[in-house]
Homo-oligomer: A and B are copies of this chain.
Amino acid sequence: MTGVPRPSTDPEDLLAGARGGDRGALARLVSMVERGGADAAAIARLAHPLAGSASTIGITGAPGAGKSTLTSALVAEIRRAGERVAVLAVDPSSPFSGGAILGDRVRMGEHALDDEVFIRSMATRGHLGGLSLAVPQAVRVLDAVGIPWIVVETVGVGQVEVEVAAEADCTVVVVNPGWGDAVQASKAGLMEIADVFVVNKADRPGADEARSDLERTLSMGHHDRRPPVLCTVATTGDGVAELWQAVRDEVGAALEDGRRAQRRRARDEAELRRVVSARLEERVAAVAAGTPWREAVDAVAARRSDPWTVADELLAELDR
């Protein structure tokens, strides 16, 4: 094992390396950010002043809507335009399955050999602060490294997952032909976060109906700017150039009319709240490691006390 240089784990070295084009350094930075803790904070401190130029694209929708295939097709389109791009694919992790077991990542294979495409599957269950803290940290690193387009793909179901997708500069909601999907999208709270709607698998029956149903539903909503509804067939690439154009139009319009700055400020504020919460959680973890904590759990389990009463007692202890 002699002669093999150990890779640096110093955030400053890694960031300098990644900015110089070292993909290994970039991958390590994203892993460190995903793990959270002191390293993640140190990286955020270094990366924040360097970030702010990238545009983020959120891609979300029901499981099976074809989000990964569409993401891959959009990445191909971005590459044709000569731009660098990164993909963060947020998959519910599973210790049993080892995360993304098949399918999604495989389809990204066509970009695997392209040095200007960085693809990362994020599996952050158990991370302190969860996805909602880890994803913006990873985005910041990719941004600071100079990648102009960052695609964040999440499943469009779940409180946290929808929130993460909504925080992009341009959020693309993917549905399929069939009214059922539009209903699911609506129930999951996807109607109000979409900047662009895509009816994917549009070669299937019912695509036109889905499109007009969506347009009708959107016309009843209260959007500052009514999202365009596009049809795509991600597997053949049909409509993907139009999607890329719609994304650029939306990003441009939001930049001009001030919505981008507004949304980013809201995003910064949301992240700050999460960081403050994560810091407080660290204190909770410290409290939870002590004997009074075990006694408090005992009291709740035996119904001698209740969680609200013992929580306040523990916090009074913490403040003393």
Binding site for B on A (CB under 8 A): 41, 44-45, 48-49, 51-52, 62-64, 91-97, 99-103, 125, 130-131, 155, 157-162, 180, 183-184, 186-189, 191-192, 221, 264-265, 268-269, 271-273, 275-277, 279-281, 283-284, 287-288, 296-297, 300-301, 303, 305-312, 314-315
Contacts and interface: CB of A to CB of B under 8 A. Distances in A.
A41 B308 contact: yes
Contact of A189 (B92, B281, B308): B92
Contact of A275 (B100, B125, B311): B311
A300 B272 contact: yes
Contact of A130 (B48, B159, B186, B271): B159
A62 B272 CA distance: 32
A295 to B, nearest CB: 11
Contacts of A281: 277, 280
**Looking at chain A's contact residues, is the secondary structure mostly helix, strand, loop, or mixed?**
helix
B272 A276 contact: no
Contacts of A192: 94-96
A101 to B, nearest CB: 6
Interface centre among A62, A131, A183, A311 (most CB of B within 10 A): A311
A101 B187 contact: yes
Contacts of A91: 187
- Taken together, the copies of this chain in the complex come to 2
Nearest to A223: B96
Contacts of A160: 158-160
Nearest to A189: B94
Contact of A159 (B101, B131, B311): B131
Interface centre among A102, A272, A314 (most CB of B within 10 A): A272
Contacts of A188: 63, 92, 94
A152 to B, nearest CB: 15
A312 B282 CA distance: 12
B49 A101 contact: no
A80 B280 CA distance: 49
Given A94-B187, A157-B158, 13 more contacts: A45-B306, A48-B307, A51-B303, A63-B63, A63-B188, A92-B157, A94-B188, A95-B189, A101-B183, A102-B183, A158-B158, A272-B307, A277-B277
Interface centre among A92, A162, A265, A273 (most CB of B within 10 A): A92
Contact of A92 (B48, B131, B187, B268): B187
Contacts of A301: 264-265, 268
A297 B268 contact: yes
A218 to B, nearest CB: 10
A15 to B, nearest CB: 13
Contact of A96 (B63, B186, B269, B296): B186
A308 B91 CA distance: 26
Contact of A284 (B63, B97, B131, B277): B277
A159 B91 CA distance: 10
A276 B159 contact: no
Given A94-B192, A273-B284, A280-B284, A268 B159 contact: no
Nearest to A100: B187
